[in-house]
Structure 1
C-alpha cells in the first residue's frame, strides 16, 4: 500500500519500506572494545559500562541470520583509529575527552577493533571503517547502497544515541527509508538505552521504530507489515 503525493510514491507499510529486494541491514560498531568484557570500555570504566551493549548481540545475530536467508545485504561499519592520532581531529578528541572517554579504543588491526565473535561477518557481507560517529562520513556506505539499488536501511548497533542516531539522521537526509530496530540498539545500560526511544520517535515515522520480531516476520513472509 502506498500513497502518491506530488508525483512521488510514498509507502505507508513497514513491509514496503523493508522489501528484501531493496533493503540493507546495517550493523553499527559491534566491536570488542565496546561490547566485550575484555575490551577497552569494560577495562576503563568497569563491566557495567558494556552490559547494555552486550544485550543487543543476540537479537542482532538473529536479525542478521534472517537477513541473509531473505537475501538482504548485511553491512557492518566499525570505528578505526590509529595510535598516532592521524585519523582523529581536535574536535573528535576533545569531544571524546569531554565525556571522560579517552579515545584509545578500536585501534586499526587490533583485537579490540574486530567485530565481536557472535556477529562475525559472513561471506557476502560488507565491512567498512569509519572515523567519526556517522557511518556515512568519509566512508563508502552511500556508494555501496546506491550500487545495489538499496532504498531502505534497517539500522542496528551501538551506541543508540551516539553513532546509530548520527547514522540514522544522515541516512534520512540522503533519502533512504530508515528503520530502527528497538531491541537491536543500545546505550551503556538499561536506563540510558531507554532514552533512545524518544530520540528516535522524534525523527522516525511511528512504524519505523520497530522490533526484530516484526522485521524477521516480514523478511520470512510470515508478517503483514501493516504497522
Structure 2
C-alpha cells in the first residue's frame, strides 16, 4: 500500500486494488497551561501557531508604516517573545504558519474598498505603491516590504500563506492547510492584534477551531484601548488568552 496525501496527518493508503481511508492515529501530546478565563489543556499534536503580519512594512522603521509616520516600536514588541518561543514549538513538531499580507503585483486581488482604506484621498503611498527611497512596493508578495522581519527569519519547514484581507481565511488556502494538518487548536500572534490578528481569530472561532491568543506575542500600533478591548473580547467570546511563558514552562516540564 502506498501513502497518498500531502500531509502525513491526512493520508490514504492505496494500491491497484484497494484503498484504505483510515488515517493513522496521532499520539496525544497534552500540555496544560495557565490561561484566561480558565486553565487550558491542549494537544500539541493538533496545535499550530499562526503569526500574522510580522513584516517589514509593519514592523521595520524603514517600512511602509514608518514611512507614513507611524511609530512601529509597539509592533516590534512581539519579536523577542516569538524568537524565544518558536524554536521550542518547532522542536515539538507544532506547525508554524506565517500569515502575511501579500498583494499581487497587478493588485487584481484588491478591491477599491481595500485600496481606499490606505489611500483615502487617492494620493500618497498605498498598497502596491513604491516606497520613496527604497522603491520597494508596499506589501507586494515576494518583496522586501512583505517579507518577515529578519529577527524572525522563517525556517525551511515553516508554512507561508499570503492574505489580502483583514482575515486570513478569506480567499486563501489557510483553512485547507489546517485541515490537512489535522489541526484543531490555533495559537495566534502578530500585528495588529485589533485588526488582522483579531479578524483571523474571529473567523477561526466561527469555523470551529479552538483559539488561544498569545498576549505577549501580539501588539498593535493603534491606541492602547484597542489592545485592551481585543484581549477582553477574546476572553469573553472567542477563546483564551495566554502568555508565551506558559507554553515555555509547560514544554520544559
TM range (shorter): 0.7 to 0.9
Partner of 2:221: 188
Structure 1: distance between partners of 2:245 and 2:225: 19
Matched, 1:199 2:251: no
Larger Rg computed on CA atoms: 2
1:111 paired residue number: 144
Q: The residue matched to 1:180 in structure 2 has which SS?
A: strand
Equivalent residues in 2 for 1:110-189 (5 A)?
110-188=143-221
| Contact preservation (8 Å) 1:31, 1:112 | yes
Q: With the length of structure 1 as denominator, give the TM-score of the two structures.
A: 0.82
Q: Which residue of 2 aligns with 1:210?
A: 242
Which of these residues, 33, 38, 54, is aligned with residue 62 of structure 2?
38
Q: Counting helix residues as a fraction of each chain, which structure ranks higher?
A: 1
Contact 2:234 2:241 in 1 (8 A): no
CA distance, structure 1, for counterparts of residue 105 and residue 79 of structure 2: 28
Task: Quote the residue 2:48 is aligned against.
Answer: 24
Which range moved further: 157-166 or 199-208? 199-208
Q: 1:25 offset after TM fit, Å?
A: 0.7
Aligned-residue offset at 1:161: 0.4
Aligned length: 204
Q: Which runs of 5+ in 1 are unaligned?
A: 1-11, 223-227
Q: Which residue of 2 aligns with 1:59?
A: 81
Residues 70-91 of structure 1 deviation map (CA, whole Å, 9 limit, x = unaligned)? 2111011111124543221011
CA–CA distance in structure 1, aligned partners of residues 44 and 236 of structure 2:
20
Corresponding residue of 1:7: none
1:201 to partner: Cα distance: 2.2
Question: What is the rounded CA distance, in whole Å, between the counterparts of 2:111 and 2:161 in structure 1?
Answer: 20
Secondary structure of 1:68's partner? helix
Does the CA contact (< 8 Å) of 2:193 and 2:230 recur in 1?
Answer: no
Q: Distance in 1 between matches of 2:245 and 2:143?
A: 34
Unaligned runs of 5+ in 2: 1-37, 129-137
Return the alpha-carbon distance in structure 2 between the equivalents of residues 67 and 193 of structure 1: 29
CA positional deviation for 1:203: 3.3
Deviation at 1:62, TM superposition (A): 1.4
SS in 1 for 2:148: coil
In the aligned structure 2, how far is the partner of 1:15 from the partner of 1:123?
A: 29
Cα RMSD after superposing both structures: 2.2
Contact 1:79 1:131 (8 Å CA) reproduced:
yes
1:184 counterpart SS class: strand
Provide the residue aligned with 2:34 in structure 1.
none
**Secondary structure at the counterpart of residue 202 of structure 1:** helix
1:14 equivalent in alignment to 2:46 = no
